[in-house]
Structure 1
Amino acid sequence: MKSAEEAPGLGRLKIGFVLARSFTLSAFALFVDTLRLASDETDRSGRILADWHVLASSRNLITSSCGVQVAPTSDFVDPGEFNYIVVVGGLLNNEFPVDSETVSYLKRAAAAKVPLIGICTGTFILAEAGLMKYHRTCVSWLHYQAFRERFPDHDVRSDRLFNLDRTRGSCAGGSSAADMAASIVRRHISREAERNALEVLQIERARSASDIQPHSPPFIECQDPRLKAALIIMENHIENTISIPKVAALVGLSRRQLERLFMEKTKSSPAIVYTRVRLERAKHLLMQTRAPMIEIAVEVGFENASHFSRLFRQTYGQPPTKFRSAVSG
């Protein structure tokens, strides 16, 4: 690490944060703490190799989704002062997560070719402003359907942790915010700075943009990243089902390789597991809604209620009508 005396000659990594109303505190804290620990030796917290500000249209406190408030540290200064501007989102039920002045600032930053990054649902804010249309967006599996519905013409995936190209970045949120921040530190400061930050944060290694989000259906225990990615893709295509060869292509395998992988890890074919994924969604809908059987059947990718009912009974030992009656009391 460079000493404080050597720092004035260096171009510091500078990042501006835009926090949405009801933003996710953990994602912001992990990202900014990775910068803090990379900027100085051990845990001294000097802003030597990196600097950061929380930008806002006013100095009013910004309340996170857990209720903790953060004070902005800067007005909307020239976006060209920053290497990146990071938008941290949070709860999707907030109709206006940022004000119009903030949206204008983000558009000004994009026009100045300052890279913009959406963390957690910050990607929704950037997409709503028309700033993600020509870039692949990475979102949490939890928010994939909502993003697809709101922005159907955008390229989005939910099997990876983050994505970063020359002018845009996106991150699923949670602990992957530290992974993305570490990749930026490595790129702009050094591997040594990255290692210092991760060691103090008790993170053994930073995951890469190609790592898979840690999620799989509850009825399958799996560690293989290709299998996890395939399962996430299946979960994201419940109503509008896709072919098994397409699933294989999206995870970088041939159909035969994918079938061998599933047989080895799950003792079932991809098609059988895909059907089970859809039926698990149907179980949830039966428990949580009063929708007619035909609506549930269509929503989980079946053309008619009789086919759906037959497969449901084969899988769970009772027809969906009886299952609904049992769980509803």
Structure 2
Amino acid sequence: MHRIGYLLSDGFQIMALASQSVFEFANDAAGEAFYGIENYSMAGGEVRSSLGMKLDTRAVSARTAMDTWIAAGVNAPLTARPPAALLAFLRRASTRSRRIAGICTGGFVLAEAGLLANRRATMHWAYARDLQRLFPDVRVEEDRIYIVDGPVWTSAGMTAGLDLALAMVEKDLGADVARSVAHKLVMHQRRAGGQSQHSEMLDLAPKSDRIQNALNYARKNLNRPLTVEELAGEAHLSPRQFSRVFTQETGQSPAKAIEGLRLEAARLMIEKSRHSLETIARETGFRDRRHMREAFMRGFGLPPQEVRREARAQV
């Protein structure tokens, strides 16, 4: 049995425990109790979540051994240095376990213990720059879902912990089991670690159904040119009214928003498929590969080839 220990402290974010369901359903899909889950804290006993829920935990000791340790995050970055005993325990655990992970701000604790020094790591977008400022020897990549650097795993916040756990299942039990778990948990897809933390559609957040309908139409038809007149027709507005209302509701012009949707779709295809860059450019509505590269440099500061290299390196 592969034993996984969740290391909790007062104020832990309850969403971190949702990732335990991934391992639970992996046992079901594998047809055996491959994973065993236990909750720990330094002193043991009752630990309170940020929501006030009480959870009983076991105390760690010098004899506590796990195949995987996962440090749960709290709802804010570090405000005080963690206890020396906790940091010493993590350093010792990192030499005795197969892997060690930090979900969301749990990465701050790993960094304090020196486990992220000279490693790539990610963090919830709201705290990534704090991590880089406090720990300049960490190679922080703030726009990632999760990152695996050797035996150390880090993830962004909230639902990204599910992606990290699912990636562990895929590594341990294979892609078929991971797909089965994702299906049972009604996860839309297994997100690649290099995928952006941000969703262009969520960032736009239109206030009316008519603008939302136009955006949904655009996303389904990115493989061909989209004009303001065409989108305005979907919103049942004149082109002039549409441009004005669209900008008021999203803070962006229609052209800029559509380019953002194209970029998001192209990046996902680059990370998850083996299609050529020419094919991806055509399927996501860019004029050609050069046009797509120019948009990537504006949007991400990286050319498409570098995004693909990073994704393959993580795999």
TM over 0.5: yes
Taking the aligned partners of 2:140 and 2:290, their CA distance within structure 1 comes to: 23
Aligned-partner SS, 1:142: coil
Task: Pick from 40, 53, 59 the counterpart of residue 38 of structure 2.
Answer: 53
Q: Does 1:259 align with 2:294?
A: yes
Taking the aligned partners of 2:145 and 2:37, their CA distance within structure 1 comes to: 23
Aligned pairs for 1:133-148 within 5 A: 133-148=117-132
Task: Pick from 168, 178, 197 the counterpart of residue 184 of structure 1.
Answer: 168
Task: Pick from 21, 35, 45 the counterpart of residue 10 of structure 2.
Answer: 21
Q: Deviations over 1:150-178 (max 9, x none)?
A: 11232101111001132211000211111
Taking the aligned partners of 2:43 and 2:110, their CA distance within structure 1 comes to: 20
Aligned-partner SS, 1:53: strand
Q: Deviations over 1:239-280 (max 9, x none)?
A: xxxxxxxxxxxxxxx997542458xxxxxxx39x99xxxxxx
Q: Deviations over 1:207-262 (max 9, x none)?
A: 11121112556535433338889xxxxxxxxxxxxxxxxxxxxxxxx997542458
Aligned pairs for 1:109-188 within 5 A: 109-112=93-96, 114-188=98-172
**Aligned residue type for 1:111:** T
Taking the aligned partners of 2:127 and 2:87, their CA distance within structure 1 comes to: 21
Q: Is the 8 A contact 1:13 1:188 kept in 2?
A: no
Taking the aligned partners of 2:133 and 2:150, their CA distance within structure 1 comes to: 26
Aligned-partner SS, 2:126: helix
Structure 1 191/93 Cα, relative in aligned 2: closer, same or farther at 3 Å? closer
Structure 1 82/124 Cα, relative in aligned 2: closer, same or farther at 3 Å? same
Q: How many residues align?
A: 226
**Structure 2 residues without counterparts, runs of 5 or longer:** 205-250, 269-288, 302-315
Structure 1 97/260 Cα, relative in aligned 2: closer, same or farther at 3 Å? closer
Task: Identify the residue that residue 65 of structure 1 maps to in structure 2.
Answer: 50
Q: Is the 8 A contact 1:20 1:97 kept in 2?
A: no
Taking the aligned partners of 2:81 and 2:183, their CA distance within structure 1 comes to: 34
**Structure 1 residues without counterparts, runs of 5 or longer:** 1-11, 230-253, 263-269, 275-329
Taking the aligned partners of 2:193 and 2:168, their CA distance within structure 1 comes to: 11
Taking the aligned partners of 2:62 and 2:296, their CA distance within structure 1 comes to: 52
Taking the aligned partners of 1:227 and 1:144, their CA distance within structure 2 comes to: 25
Q: Is the 8 A contact 2:69 2:99 kept in 1?
A: yes
TM-score where L is the length of structure 1: 0.60
**Aligned residue type for 2:109:** I
Identity of counterpart residues, as a percentage?
20
